[in-house]
Chain A
Amino acid sequence: MEHFDLSRRKFLKSSTIAIGAMAAVGAGVGYLQKLTTEKRINQKFLRPPGAIPEKDFIYACIKCGLCIQICPVDALKFAGIKEGLAYGTPYVDVREQACDLSCDSIQCVETCPTAALYFVPFKNAGEKAITEYDQTHKIDENYNPFTVQISAMKTEVKMGEAKVNENTCLAALGKGFKGTPRGDQFKGINRSPKGNSPKATPIKDKYYDRKICNLCVTECPIGESAIVLYKQIGINGEEKFLPKVLDDCVGCGVCVMVCPTREPSIIIEPINS
């Protein structure tokens, strides 16, 4: 009996310590969560396609890394300990490797088991496109609903929107660009707009010669409906150019990746906050 009492007292004591420790951790986590979520949103922390709002994403993501591993261009990175509670979650560093929308089926969203990347809107868009295609196309040898489905799904991607910094943009300053935009050590590739070609040329092997720099416009996987070089006439009658971001921009970040200025003159504002 005495032995039992002693062990019970010991158990109660260690339980109290454990509960106290967990309460402290809980308070700390609650505080840190508030702090770091705001910080991440302010820092333009870009989540993968289909990501649900940050406050939900942080619990829905179980940090399994399936999306990171399935990405064909390795655009998704996993957040380090510096991101605090976001440790282990996926994000896109578009300056290093943009999500160029060249994948076969937006696998990152499809693979997510916990709907932190929410697939249903993509699926619906794809099915809707197929139904419409079926109604307007006869079944013949050119019948290929798959590409229609995929491109419809890709229009559902909305990670953010590009914003141009007019103070440093080469086009806005009236400058051209000649050479390789990111140096010969840069690892990023852009497989679009040629789409599913796995042999796409890396950025470091591409050579550009433009009178007025328009790399962001020509490299954009969406094309003219997302970004155009817009001509303005200045006060003194001189011609001025400026890349203008339009509604169809999905925030894929290819423009950021190819921007030749030291600090990118175009950035992605995440919509997901």
Chain B
Amino acid sequence: MPTKIKEELPYVKADMSFKSWREKYGSSHKWRNIRWAVLLFINVLFFLSFLLDLSLLEGSLSGSRMFGFYLMDPFNTLQLLVISVYTGHWVHLTMNFVIGGGTIFIFYFLMGGRTFCSWVCPYHFLAEWGERLHNYLVKKKKIKEHTYNRYLRYVFWVGFLLLAFFTKNLVFEDINPIGIISRVTIYGPGLILLWVLFLISFEILYSKRFWCRYVCPVGATWSMVGNVSPFGVKFELDNCAHCRDCQSVCLVPHELWFVEKGKATERRHDVGSDCTRCGLCIDVCPGEALSYTIKGWDRIL
């Protein structure tokens, strides 16, 4: 696409200076607040279900039962399948296992894959606060930023499955901060929190969002599901002023490659599969160039 001329820029159209336009429209926290409310609600529901013996949401994020309906962690499901096909345990696996594994894949296929990360995962919530601290330290020049290749996650994904296969143990579940934090919120704190503390300090002091960006195989699994998912974030070039505020708040800024001047090839782009659908970019965008969408739906309408 050709670069926009000055008259086409949204803040010129609105007859404002860029600075006042950005201040006026770019400081919403709508989706962030909704998202945090959902995330805390789900995790508190786990806690309350155990505390008050309610049959609402039993279990933990490793595997749970919602109103009597089973849900399973996708990477646990995969690890267990890899091991049990080898040891012969798979013939004993229950129908609830099939239902739990199947449902969660269908649900997050519909909801956008990595939606789990930003809307449910309790570690993501902690890491968001860690990220703020990290950004502050970088800004004050106390620490340097370290980035890695994002495909490292797939190395870990294959690696953890191989590890499960060779050691016949759910190795990842032992170090999985999602499961750990989920159990801690339900049953109370334990020494295992030191591991989570180590991870979060590493993220604050060395590499921004290290676990979520480069390691977590649960996120990588959802990323693969998100590849074919209909729900996502869309980008409309006409409303974009190329301020790149969205990239600065995004967990996966490479997915917003088209907001840079002259990069977009279409008037409309869909954000790729690494996107967690967290909505931070939607909140921060002053021109409403980014919004939630169901792919294909708006074309039907």
Contacts and interface: CB of A to CB of B under 8 A. Distances in A.
Given A59-B83, A60-B80, A114 B169 contact: no
Given A87-B174, A119-B94, 12 more contacts: A14-B148, A18-B152, A18-B159, A19-B155, A22-B159, A22-B162, A26-B167, A33-B167, A82-B191, A114-B63, A114-B97, A115-B97
B94 A33 contact: no
Interface in B163-216: 163-164, 166-171, 173-174, 179, 183, 186-187, 190-192, 214
A115 B63 CA distance: 13
A113 interface: yes
A25 interface: yes
B157 to A, nearest CB: 11
A19 B235 CA distance: 37
Contacts of B100: 113
B58 A70 contact: yes
Interface of B: 49-50, 58-60, 62-65, 70, 72-73, 76, 79-80, 83-84, 87, 89, 92-94, 96-97, 100, 148-149, 151-152, 155-156, 159-160, 162-164, 166-171, 173-174, 179, 183, 186-187, 190-192, 214
Contact of B65 (A10, A87, A111): A111
A11 B152 CA distance: 7
A55 interface: yes
A80 B191 contact: yes
A121 B181 CA distance: 35
Contacts, number: 141
Contacts of B214: 14
Nearest to B149: A11
A59 to B, nearest CB: 5
A99 B50 CA distance: 19
A218 to B, nearest CB: 30
What size tier do the contact residues of chain A reach?
35 or more
16 contacts: A7-B149, A11-B151, A18-B156, A18-B159, A26-B166, A59-B164, A63-B63, A63-B170, A64-B62, A66-B59, A80-B190, A81-B190, A85-B169, A115-B92, A115-B93, A118-B92
A147 interface: no
A65 interface: yes
A82 B190 CA distance: 10
Contacts of B169: 29, 33, 58-59, 85
A124 interface: no
A15 interface: yes
A66 B167 contact: no
A55 B170 CA distance: 12
Contacts of A78: 183, 187
B58 A66 contact: yes
A59 B80 contact: yes
A10 B148 contact: yes
Contacts of A26: 162-163, 166-167, 171
A56 B88 CA distance: 10
Contacts of B76: 62
A30 B97 CA distance: 26
Nearest to A21: B159
B43 to A, nearest CB: 14
Contact of A63 (B163, B166, B179): B179
A11 B94 CA distance: 40
Given A60-B89, A63-B183, A64-B62, A114 B163 contact: no
Contacts of A55: 168
Given A11-B149, A78-B187, A113 B171 contact: no
Contacts of B159: 18-19, 22
